[in-house]
Amino acid sequence: MNMKPSSPSDSNISINNSTTTFISSPWETMRRKPRTTLLLSLLSILLFAAFSLHLSRDAVSGWRPDYDLDDRPWKLNAKNHVVVHTNANKNNNIVNEFSHQSRRVSSINFRNSFSTVSVLLPDWEILVLVSPNTPLSSSDEYNCLFRNNQMSQAKFSGVLPFTNRTTFKCDMPGTVWRRKIFSQPMLVTGTSENEFQNHSPAAELVRWNFVVYESFSMEDDVVLFAKGVNHRQGYDRPAKELNCVFQIGDGIRTAVTSSVQEVFRCLHPDPSDLGSNSEIGVSLEIIGENIVVPSVAYYTPRPNKPNSKPVAVQNFGPPAQPKYFLCACTMVYNVAKFLREWVVYHSKVGVENFILYDNGSDDDDLERIIKELREEGYNISTLLWIWPKTQEAGFSHSILYSKSKGLCTWMMYVDVDEFMYLPSWRNNGFHFNSNELPSLKSILPREDKGGRIGQVSMMCLEFGPSGQRQHPKEGVTQGYTCRRKVEQRHKSIVLVEAVDRSLWNVIHHFQVNEKQGFRSKQLGPEEGLVNHYKYQAWVEFKSKFRRRVSAYVVDWRQAMNPNSQDRTPGLGFEAVEPKDWTHRFCEVRDQRLKLLTREWFGSFTHNGYRMAWQTR
């Protein structure tokens, strides 16, 4: 794709950011002239060192992933989310025109800059979201250019669904960490050789833990996904304390009708107020605190009239009958080596479609594996879900996604290291070459069989390293056969239409709509089980210290939530392999699923005995 280049000699480059813009204090432009006396020079050095230490302390102490909303010293304007450095102004005035992000540079040797908004992620990583429909070239090298003229490579991270926004990730240079206010970088092509000369305000970085990050339009309402408004350990704000704010004119507000975890539902704005706008920012307003949450989300309007051409890009209203009876949904991050076994197995036991929420996989073969599986006939959908620690919200989103596309009657929620099975399968002597195959569908009630079962749950068995020192070449079902004795929290298969409107869930368990007569059913260990290969060979397990997609533990290296079930008993907060790791969590030798899968998927070849998912 072609892009209109910017002239390297231009001294003014204006970035018109069509997304939400956050304005902070102007960048400093004055430099101190060098002093001629040694005394003044030494004094200046001492003052600068003290001041830098103060800023560094403030920056680090202010970057707390679990900060309290009441600790924020600033207020945000409802229209452009302008930072108002005052506690006296309670009028929440609306700015009439969108602010532009304008930066003056001097002899910067880059070819192009782009309209973007950036989010500061954990580990000093920055997510850069390019404005929708921005032309980009795959042959260009992209960089993040920071306020102090430092640069870091911007790596392509995928395209967000629904809004078609290209994303990049770059690291924040250490020299930027000590600044009191973190300003958004510019996404540029080329290199930088000279310093910024800044004469206009700089947009402040959005924080990953206080942001509206997604929007999904249904036929009857709008669903927003936001961090930092409700606290998992605390309470959910009453819906009456919130508004949805749509960036049209002076701002259009509609009432929030449901507020649970990171999911907020509100009414559509009047279509007549939208005009011809196709890119409409949307956020949440905390009414009592005079705050509009920073947002990177866009609103998709619904059709104006039943017979008119719809404005929306999403499909409203599912068909009468979903396409698949049983789907499986999971969130993935760098799971290429595990995915094939998981898909092949569950496809054979009744799963017809797989929905993968990719949490930003990198340095992984995931895309290639998915392509191969699709070519082999497996139905796999992938959605880039790049937001940190949002597994519950992602699963809530999957219910909306399935409804909007008419995909699934039932949805199974298990991770890629978890395998559902019925112990009775082995007793019944099922074989894949017979006319009747074992299926998870047998435990799911159909309407004609009566009852209002909206969810079927089964307990998990947690397997340990089982003596393995690396990933078993025949797969996890073959290599891990020793587990803990106690049964752990359950995983579920959910009737999509039975899920409560609030979309409340605890990762693998939803609240069903009891007002409509739905209830959950818990299976006993003799009826159904989940083998969770949780504690694998250390080389595989240690990667979980750096990155977890779940919502409970932000980082295993932090001394937080020590009693969480998401932690490993007796491991502590450092990714250091215990001497007895290979033999830990081995209380019961359990080979039931190993023997089943070996019978169903194993065969002798000229390369020896192999499982169906082995490719080499």
Q: What's the confidence (pLDDT) of residue 611?
A: 96
**The pLDDT of residue 488:** 84
Calpha distance 343→518 (Å, rounded): 30
Q: 3-class SS at 61?
A: helix
pTM above 0.85, yes or no: no
Q: Residue 23 to residues 99, 250, 293, 309: CA-CA distances in angstroms?
A: 8, 17, 13, 37
- In order along the chain (616 residues), what is the average pLDDT of each group of 10 residues? 37 33 31 46 56 40 32 33 32 30 40 89 94 88 91 94 93 88 90 50 88 96 97 83 92 96 96 82 96 95 52 49 96 94 97 96 91 97 94 96 96 97 82 69 75 92 95 96 92 97 92 94 95 92 63 52 57 74 95 95 90 88
Nearest to 168 by CA among 153, 148, 154, 151: 154
Tell me the pLDDT tens digit for each residue of 94-114. 322 223 333 333 344 556 889
> What's residue 591's pLDDT?
97
Q: Is 233 left (phi over 0), alpha (psi -120 to 50) or beta?
A: alpha
Beta bridge partners of 326: 410
Q: What pLDDT sits at residue 68?
A: 34
Amino acid letter for position 324: Y
CB-CB neighbours of 270 under 10 Å: 9
**Which has the closest alpha carbon to 199: 30, 55, 85?**
30
Give the pLDDT score at 511: 96
